[in-house]
Structure 1
Amino acid sequence: MTVIPHYFIGAPIPSDLKEMLTEWQNKLTDEFLYKQWTNKEDFHITLKFLGPVQPDNIEKVKYRLNAVNELPSFSLVIEGIQTFGNPASPRVLFANVHQMDPLLKLVELVESSMQICGFAKEKREFRPHITLAKKWKTASRKVQAAPLIEKFHNEKHVFSIDHINLYQIHPNETPKYEVIKTFSLNGTC
């Protein structure tokens, strides 16, 4: 049985911020017990998860993603850390990304482009973030997340998004995500 590769579309994180996020992880590994800590080369903001994509359809995806070329580059702000799930055993620890109109326009364009390719529109509200860790290790150990999160409350870092990537997922490799193609944001305001 042939395994169909899984893909997603994401915005990459600059190298200096990857280093900073790795430092954040190092400060938190003793307190937060996760099975998976994100490799620094895998840091990104997911714009659209595609799942399994047949080889013939991936060419359509690439073609449709060229539409982002019309959009201008823009800046985003990382604002501290937060969690998804039960605060005592959160399923995901992430760097919060302040949602801005240019990012929402990009996500809308990606969504509409992927609908043309036959992918369903995401039903959940878009919540931009950079996953630091996931999959809580043990039900017996609980954490007081709020005080730990508060330590990062005043951390704000600006970075630019001037391109997005189509990534293929390699679940048994480190790093897990391979850039298949890059799409530049070249438009003007």
Structure 2
Amino acid sequence: MGIRSFIAIDLPESLLDLVQRIQKDFRKMGFSFRWVKPEQVHITLKFMEDLAPDDQLAIQEALTETAAQSAPFALTLQGCGVFPNLRAPRVLWLGMGGAIDALGVLQKRLDRFISQKTHDRIAMEDRPFKAHLTIARIKGGVDAKPLLTALKSHAGFQSEPFTVSELHWIESRLNPTGPVYRHLSTVSFGAKASEP
């Protein structure tokens, strides 16, 4: 059986504190969601459910090449919402602002390299990439009205910018108490950031 893993961008500590504060806001409003631990909050670029040992070297190569062709850029956390919709919410998320185009280019480049290096055993994503941070998972029904009020109260929220300059490959093992993460590899971007 292969490993369950993903490639992601980690957040600086200051922003993880901010995530925790937003989770507390929702708790105070009476929502008892399944909260994602702040240290497990990240921007997922590629998820791989069952990665064969033979493909692990290919993933490392794809990661290295993606980073070598990427330059640092800045993002912010901005606004929040739910997937798939207010009538049947499953995920509470924080949105992204800043250099979203650069993030999209990075995700596509990574996706393409992984597909090439694994000879399409790991296919490219067919859904459009939506940059977000999952901060809670929602089980059971939720009254849409108070949830909409809570979301509106955080609609104008925006964090300080943070710089994205490396990628993390992380194994995720599922336990009854939640996923346990183990860092497999971290690669830094090789290209220089262009001057504004």
Give the unaligned 5+ runs of structure 1: none
* Residue 96 of structure 1: aligned partner: 95
Secondary structure of the 1:105 match is: helix
Alpha-carbon distance in 1 for matches of 2:170, 2:182: 5
Q: Does 1:171 align with 2:169?
A: no
Aligned-partner Cα distance in 2 for 1:8–1:60: 14
* Cα pair 1:81 1:93 within 8 Å, conserved: yes
Distance in 2 (CA, whole Å) between partners of 1:31 and 1:176 is 28
Q: Tell me which amino acid in the other structure corresponds to 1:14.
A: P
Could you tell me which amino acid in structure 2 is paired with residue 95 of structure 1?
L
1:184 is aligned to 2:194:
no
Distance 2:32 2:144 in 1: 9
Residue of 36, 59, 73 corresponding to 2:57: 59
1:55 CA displacement: 1.8
For normalisation by structure 2, the TM-score amounts to 0.87
User: How far apart are residue 89 of structure 1 and its match?
Assistant: 4.1
Aligned position for 1:137: 139
- Residue type matched to 1:115 in 2? S
Tell me the CA shift for residue 33 of structure 1: 3.5
Root-mean-square deviation (Å): 1.7
Distance 1:137 1:112 in 2: 34
Gaps of 5+ in 2: none
Q: Deviations over 1:71-116 (max 9, x none)?
A: 1110012112111123144100011113622111101110111111
CA 1:80–1:14: 2 relative to 1, 3 Å? same
Aligned 1:25-64 pairs, distance under 5 A = 25-29=23-27, 30-34=29-33, 36-64=34-62
Deviations 1:57-76 (A, max 9, x none): 11110012101222111001
- 1:107-152 alpha-carbon deviations (Å, 9 max, x no partner): 1110111111131110111100000011x2323x424222111111
Normalised by the length of structure 1, the TM-score is 0.90
- In structure 2, C-alpha distance between the alignment counterparts of 1:31 and 1:52, rounded to whole Å: 37
